[in-house]
A and B are shown apart, each in its own frame.
Chain A
Amino acid sequence: MTEGSFIHPAIFFFLGAAGLAFIPVRFRTIYLMGIPVLAGLSLAASTPGLHGVYSFVGREIILGRMDDLSRLFGVIFILMALIGIIYGLHEKEKTGPSAAALMYVGGALGVVMAGDYITVFIFSEVMAFSSVFLIWLKRDAASLSAGFRYILMHLFGGVCLLGGVIIRLIETGSTAFTPQPVEGIGSALILIGFLVNAAVPPLSAWLSDAYPEATVTGAVFLSAFTTKTAVYTLIRGFPGTEALIWLGAVMAIYGVVYAVLENDIRRLLAYHIISQVGYMVCGVGLGTELALNGASAHAFSHILYKGLLFMGAGAVIEMTGKRKLTELGGLYKTMPITLILYMIGGFSISAFPLFSGFVSKSMVVSAAGESHQAAIWLMLTLASAGTFLHTGLKLPYYTFFGKDSGIRTSEPPRNMLWAMGLAAFFCIGIGILPQALYALLPYPVEYHPYTGAHVVGALQMLLFTGLGFMLLLKQLDPETKISLDTDWVYRKGARGLLWLAAHPIARADAALGEAYLSLILRPLERLVQWLWVFERRIVDGAVNGVASLTYACALRMRLIQSGQIQHYLLVMVAGLFVLLTIYLLLF
């Protein structure tokens, strides 16, 4: 516990969400934009150390752990919240979507400043339950069911996390959120909980399923917070876990492969979130200072350029009402500014020199090289080519150029362009002045992205990918198809389960009931019937027999009761005589 100033930045978001309904509409803009500004000031004023330490059911709760890593994620979350809020300012329906987004950001800030697992769990649940409204508020059947699948997957992850935390607590007596080796079921369950949130295949389908069904502004928020919070928790909890190296590299390629097949513009971008988070997961697995710096830096720049790409795609959807590449085309004529801003995001994610991805992604790739992981290095580099191919070439080509769809629209509302411009400004700023980002990283940085070999190598890589795109353009034409992902298991598989319940299980249940009836109930019934007969004939008969005998004897005995003493004497003498006779005869 350190003395020093600390106001938790999440408080501004939670209170802001609670107060939203009471603010008159004409003050909403200033109110909404004031929240991230105040949170940013409180973050800037906070001193490193542990703050907000409480005791809860005998456990230590640490609400505010402030160090370089949590500050880095705090800065980017608050900046992205400001950008997202500006992007959504034109929306007529303000209260619901804004409240959900503010709660969601608050939850993310809560997780990255949590010092113990109980706090991590609580804020993760806040994130899951507020973010699902960013999907549901699109208010159509597809988003309703996608939202339910989204929340169920996050509940699964949350249950894994909670179970793991409790088992770890019993085993080690600690809920501290600190680096740990994966040994025993407790830490393994915690890791699974984090991997669900990081969308690591095969637990990734919730992301590509739900994000394209969110509202235009909602998807911008979603693209930034859940997976990057998960990357933070992995950096904090499981650095150097070797399995993550391979999971991350496979993930980077997995997202790229699905992006080739995709027709829905935001689902294509969603698959590239999975791909990009793969680099970060890989960096966490490598676990060296350069790799962890790279994962953190890439999370930072990824939030900005992915937010920018989702804003660009959202602007297209907002203005045209269309979301498929096969229905779009030729929009550069009427949305040139959107195109340019989108392309800044596209160049950033593709790691073009002078754009943000170049200075962050290459840290992870170089870390793989320094760890002598040649296969990982080649996989990550291959995925880079795929990233440029889809996000930088295919999507903008078929949306803004390609076959003219005949759609004539206009640029999106000015606030959307401002938000995109702000994100684009930071994408280029980080690319030109990487030292500004490097200064925020958790470890000291001795990495120089702008060497001659690196710049020339990256440009060759990207432009020859462009050559491949030109030559194979016809192959890439989008198809009006959807691709099956692991969500098949719970979308079709669940139907299989229902069929199983309705047919074989129901039949087995009926057969079991029948068997019970004929093997147990019927014989039991017969036994009872027999017992009833026994009871009536034998038991009752015996009792009644004794009773009627007694009664009959009593009737006869009554005759002796004459009231005359001589008769009584006679009976007594006779009785004595009988007893004596019996006695003499028997003994």
Chain B
Amino acid sequence: MSEQKQSTNPKPMPMESGGSPGGSVPGWVRRVEGIRMSAGARRGFYAVLAFLVLLDIFVPKEHALFSFEALPGFSAVYGFISCVVIIIVSKWFGHAGVMTREDYYD
């Protein structure tokens, strides 16, 4: 999901545990990497999001337990808000003193 380009020439690092060398990356992995870096992937992702919200308008919701659940796109909005709220509130909580240096208990 990152648009950041991967370095095509990873600098050689000492082997951690005698595995296969970096050069022998399987072909299909390289292809996945290609898709990952394409700007089209992002556009495709947005298209899927829009399609899902559109679909939500037409899906029958006779089993909805709460009135808000039946609103088209409710899950999309709530999911996005949840994600943002969790990140912002947790980081605020962490920086309010809960996060501390790694050798705190030593």
Query: Which residues of A are at the interface with B, using a C-beta cutoff of 8 A?
Result: 256-258, 260-261, 318-321, 330, 332-334, 336, 366, 369-370, 372, 374, 377-378, 381-382, 384-386, 389, 393, 397, 401-404, 406-411, 451-453, 456-470, 472-473, 475-476, 479-484, 491-492
B63 near A453 (CB under 8 angstroms)? yes
How far is it, in angstroms, between the C-alpha of A404 and the C-alpha of B21 when the chains are bound? 15
**Which residue of chain A has its CB nearest to the CB of B77?**
A464
A460 with B79, Cβ < 8 A, contacts A334-B22, A407-B13, A482-B102 known:
yes
Count contacts on B: residues with CB < 8 A to the other chain: 68
The residue from A256, A260, A389 contacting B94, defined by CB atoms under 8 A apart: A260
Among A320, A378, A461, A462, the one with the most B-chain Cβ atoms within 10 Å of its Cβ is: A461
Minimum distance in angstroms from B13 CB to a CB of chain A = 4
The residue from B18, B56, B85, B99 contacting A261, defined by CB atoms under 8 A apart: B99
Within 8 A of A (CB), among B1-47: 1-2, 4, 6-7, 10-13, 15-22, 25-26, 28-29, 32-33, 36, 42, 45
How far is it, in angstroms, between the C-alpha of A172 and the C-alpha of B20 when the chains are bound? 66
A468 near B98 (CB under 8 angstroms)? no
Q: Which residues of the partner chain A approach B10 to less than 8 Å between Cβ atoms?
A: 330, 333, 404, 406, 408
A385 with B79, Cβ < 8 A, contacts A483-B94, A484-B100 known:
yes
**Which residue of chain B has its CB nearest to the CB of A332?**
B29
A461 near B13 (CB under 8 angstroms)? no
Q: 19 additional contacts, CB 8 Å, given A460-B75, A469-B83, A475-B91? A: A260-B86, A319-B16, A320-B16, A320-B17, A330-B10, A334-B25, A369-B65, A386-B83, A407-B13, A408-B10, A453-B59, A456-B52, A460-B73, A464-B80, A465-B79, A465-B82, A467-B49, A473-B1, A475-B87
The residue from A261, A369, A470 contacting B90, defined by CB atoms under 8 A apart: A261
A461 near B25 (CB under 8 angstroms)? no
Minimum distance in angstroms from A222 CB to a CB of chain B = 21
A408 near B15 (CB under 8 angstroms)? yes
Among B26, B42, B77, B102, the one with the most A-chain Cβ atoms within 10 Å of its Cβ is: B102
How far is it, in angstroms, between the C-alpha of A410 and the C-alpha of B84 when the chains are bound? 36
How far is it, in angstroms, between the C-alpha of A523 and the C-alpha of B15 when the chains are bound? 80
Q: Which residues of the partner chain B approach A462 to less than 8 Å between Cβ atoms?
A: 79
Among B20, B45, B74, B83, the one with the most A-chain Cβ atoms within 10 Å of its Cβ is: B83
How far is it, in angstroms, between the C-alpha of A370 and the C-alpha of B64 when the chains are bound? 10
A404 near B6 (CB under 8 angstroms)? yes
A381 with B78, Cβ < 8 A, contacts A374-B66, A407-B13, A466-B1 known:
yes
The residue from A330, A411, A469, A476 contacting B6, defined by CB atoms under 8 A apart: A330
A468 with B19, Cβ < 8 A, contacts A257-B93, A484-B98 known:
no
Minimum distance in angstroms from A547 CB to a CB of chain B = 79
Within 8 A of A (CB), among B47-65: 48-49, 52-53, 55-56, 59-61, 63-65
A409 near B16 (CB under 8 angstroms)? yes
B17 near A409 (CB under 8 angstroms)? yes
How far is it, in angstroms, between the C-alpha of A28 and the C-alpha of B16 when the chains are bound? 29
A-B contact pairs, 23 of them (CB 8 A): A257-B86, A260-B86, A321-B16, A332-B33, A336-B29, A382-B78, A389-B87, A401-B2, A402-B2, A408-B19, A408-B20, A409-B16, A410-B18, A453-B64, A456-B59, A456-B75, A458-B75, A459-B52, A461-B78, A461-B79, A467-B83, A473-B1, A491-B105
Q: Which residues of the partner chain B approach A318 to less than 8 Å between Cβ atoms?
A: 17
A260 near B87 (CB under 8 angstroms)? yes
**Which residue of chain A has its CB nearest to the CB of B36?**
A401
A457 near B56 (CB under 8 angstroms)? yes
The 3 closest A-B pairs by CB, nearest first: A410-B19, A468-B83, A369-B65
**Which residue of chain A has its CB nearest to the CB of B89?**
A257
Q: Which residues of the partner chain B approach A257 to less than 8 Å between Cβ atoms?
A: 86, 89-90, 93
Query: Which residues of B are at the interface with A, using a C-beta cutoff of 8 A?
Result: 1-2, 4, 6-7, 10-13, 15-22, 25-26, 28-29, 32-33, 36, 42, 45, 48-49, 52-53, 55-56, 59-61, 63-66, 69, 73-80, 82-91, 93-94, 97-102, 104-105
Minimum distance in angstroms from A172 CB to a CB of chain B = 39
Q: Which residues of the partner chain B approach A406 to less than 8 Å between Cβ atoms?
A: 10-11, 13
How far is it, in angstroms, between the C-alpha of A465 and the C-alpha of B42 when the chains are bound? 15
A460 with B53, Cβ < 8 A, contacts A369-B65, A370-B65, A452-B59 known:
yes
How far is it, in angstroms, between the C-alpha of A411 and the C-alpha of B26 when the chains are bound? 12
Q: Which residues of the partner chain B approach A470 to less than 8 Å between Cβ atoms?
A: 1, 42, 45
How far is it, in angstroms, between the C-alpha of A402 and the C-alpha of B63 when the chains are bound? 41
How far is it, in angstroms, between the C-alpha of A565 and the C-alpha of B12 when the chains are bound? 139
B19 near A334 (CB under 8 angstroms)? yes
Minimum distance in angstroms from A354 CB to a CB of chain B = 16
B1 near A397 (CB under 8 angstroms)? yes
Among B36, B49, B60, the one with the most A-chain Cβ atoms within 10 Å of its Cβ is: B49
Minimum distance in angstroms from B89 CB to a CB of chain A = 7
